[in-house]
Structure 1
Amino acid sequence: MLDRHARQLIDPPLNQIGRGLAARGFTADGVTLVGLGLGLIAALLIAFGQFALALVPLLASRVADGLDGAVARATQKTDFGGYLDIAVDFLFYGAIPMAFVIYDPTTNGAAGAFLLASFYFNGTSFLGYAILAEKHGHKTDAQGQKSLYYSNGILEGTETIVFFVILCLLPSYFSPLAWVFGTLCFATATLRIYAAKQTYTN
């Protein structure tokens, strides 16, 4: 729900920084992979119980996730770049909950599995909707200029990052927070499927 509002705030400074990075020879795909590396470092730190320290690479990875699109807009957007970006995002989104499960599988295992299942379902509904939108020629820039159709929902990228930050600040509450967030992810996916049925039933 918050992505379109967040984009209005962060896109102007990101675009400016992106132009600077592009002028210095940075590529969008390179920035994407740097963001992935930072996100996996955050997951590794979480797995070892370094929750506060993990916030630094976690947030830096999300800055990189915004900057890769800005660099692409300043140079040349490619279909592969958009594909790489979404694949990396999904790996990051799965790595953080998995890290909490690795840290304490007894306490966090069931809730972590439920959360990852909800991410899987939500991600499938998101990508499936994008395929239908592309097939029917539908476009939207409500959440910034993207290489594929970004359907909105109860939970989007902004809410997920806020959730991850809260988990790092309150790691002992991972289990109840994961059950709640996972339930909202299932609701988001279900509503998206309903929206697809309303829009794309011939």
Structure 2
Amino acid sequence: MLDRLARQLIDPPLNQLGQELAARGFSANGVTLIGGALGLFAALLIALGLPGLALLPLLASRLADGLDGAIARATQKTDFGGYLDIAIDFLFYGAVPMAFVLHAPAQNGAAGAFLLASFYFNGTSFLGYAILAEKHGHETTAQGQKSLYYSNGILEGTETIVFFVLLCLLPQYFAPLAWVFGGLCFATAILRIYAAKQIYSS
């Protein structure tokens, strides 16, 4: 729900910084991979029981996730770049909950499994919707200029980042937060499937 508002606030400075980085020779795919590495490092710190320290690389990874698109817009957008970006995003989204489970499997295992299942379902509904939209020639820039169709929902990227930050600040509440967020992810996916039925069933 918050991605559209967030894009309006962060896109202008990101685009400016992206132009400067592109002029210095940074590539969009390189920044995507740096962001992925930072995200995995944050997950490692969480698994080691250091969620507070994980906040810095976690947020840095999300900054890189925004900068790669800005660099691409300043240079040349490619289909592979968009593909790599979403693949790294999904790896990051799965690594953080897994890290909390690895740190405290008895306490967080069931809730973490539920959360990961909800991410899997929600991610599938998102990518499937993008395929349908592409097939029918539909486009949107509500979440900025993207390489694939970004359908909106109850939970989007902004909410997920806020959720991960909250988990790092309050790791003792991982289980209840994961049950709630996972439930909302399932609701987001179901509503997206319903929207696809309304638009693409004929």
TM-score (structure 1 length as normaliser): 1.00
Aligned length: 202
| Aligned twin of 2:17 | 17
Deviation at 1:10, TM superposition (A): 0.2
Deviation at 1:121, TM superposition (A): 0.1
| Aligned twin of 2:48 | 48
Matched, 1:113 2:113: yes
| Aligned twin of 1:32 | 32
| Aligned twin of 2:197 | 197
Alignment of 1:127-138 (within 5 A): 127-138=127-138
Deviation at 1:89, TM superposition (A): 0.2
Alignment of 1:107-186 (within 5 A): 107-186=107-186
Matching residue's letter, 1:54: A
SS at match of 1:147: coil
Matching residue's letter, 2:162: V
Matching residue's letter, 1:187: A
| Aligned twin of 1:75 | 75
Distance 1:107 1:40 in 2: 22
Deviation at 1:8, TM superposition (A): 0.2
Distance 1:131 1:198 in 2: 16
Instruction: Please give the per-residue CA displacement for 1:101-121, whole angstroms capped at 9, x wherever unaligned.
Output: 000000000000000000000
Structure 1, gaps ≥5 residues long: none
Distance 2:201 2:104 in 1: 45
Distance 1:10 1:113 in 2: 32
Deviation at 1:196, TM superposition (A): 0.1
SS at match of 2:70: helix
Deviation at 1:135, TM superposition (A): 0.1
Matching residue's letter, 1:86: I
Deviation at 1:183, TM superposition (A): 0.1
Deviation at 1:47, TM superposition (A): 0.1
Distance 1:92 1:81 in 2: 16
Instruction: Please give the per-residue CA displacement for 1:124-183, whole angstroms capped at 9, x wherever unaligned.
Output: 000000000000000000000000000000000000000000000000000000000000
Please give the root-mean-square deviation of Cα atoms over the aligned residues, in Å: 0.2
